Homo-oligomer: A and B are copies of this chain.
Amino acid sequence: MDVRKLEALLRNVRTGKTSIDDALVRLKSLPFEDLGFTRIDHHRSLRKGFPEVIWGEGKTSQQILSIVRQLKGKGQNVLITRLEEKKAKTILSVFPKGRYYPQSRVLTHLTHPVKVTGKGAILVMTAGTTDIPVAEEAAVTAELMGNRVETLYDVGVAGIHRLLAEKGKLEKAHVLVVVAGMEGALPSVVAGLVDRPVIAVPTSVGYGTSFGGITALLAMLNSCASGVAVVNIDNGFGAGYIASLMNRL
């Protein structure tokens, strides 16, 4: 039932051609799907201030450029993830004000300045230096979603003192995103030190039985510390996203 039919129905109610009871019956069986777009818009509006996110993998530079143009037209900030350097260059040649992070393969383009709406700081930590690209994806995502982001890199559990030396930083954080590959033990230790939610991000860093991040993932799911929840392997974006939702609670 499209809008014109709905309008006609209402006119008939007005003129008495259709009884109110008949109209009720017809409206109750109304295919709600026609109303869907309204809902989607309403839904979208709740998310105001968040950037629009484009999954770069499997899209051509031209496709991405076209989406970016649309979003810019609507005054949206843009976050493109999983974007190869080559495509990034093409996009930056058109939108030179964008910024590309080659390690995390993320490109951001600000149509308007990001307004900080998150309540506290989100601390993004890594166990090793090779985990940094995933952490950076989380950090950039959280920043674009209106958060103050702190980082603390290379504080893996094999050198526990380096971590403990930064306990002050940990305690000041509102939400913690902890990124680790290999044995994935860092979130357990961190969650034992703070009373804030820890989002654990396994990375595919490692070799042999690290199984591309599965070992780290399993370790994080089995954390002996309470207060840890986990996202997919290398999913820095997802961690930054849910951390942002938390930081607005």
Contact = CB atoms under 8 A, between A and B. Distances in A.
Given A157-B188, A189-B185, A192-B159, A230 B228 contact: no
A83 B168 CA distance: 37
Contacts of A158: 188-189, 191-192, 223-226
Interface string A138-174: 0000000000000000001111111011111000001
B249 A197 contact: yes
A30 to B, nearest CB: 6
B215 A209 contact: no
B208 A232 contact: yes
Contacts of A188: 157-158, 183, 185
Contact of A13 (B13, B198, B217): B13
A209 B233 contact: yes
A24 B130 CA distance: 37
B208 A233 contact: yes
Interface string A226-248: 11111111110111011001110
A73 interface: no
Interface of A: 3, 6-7, 10-11, 13-14, 16, 20, 23-24, 27-40, 42-43, 46-47, 53, 55, 57-59, 119-120, 127-130, 156-162, 164-168, 174-175, 182-185, 188-189, 191-193, 195-199, 202, 204-235, 237-239, 241-242, 245-247, 249
Which 6 A/B pairs are nearest by Cβ-Cβ distance? Answer: A32-B32, A208-B233, A185-B185, A158-B225, A229-B229, A33-B165
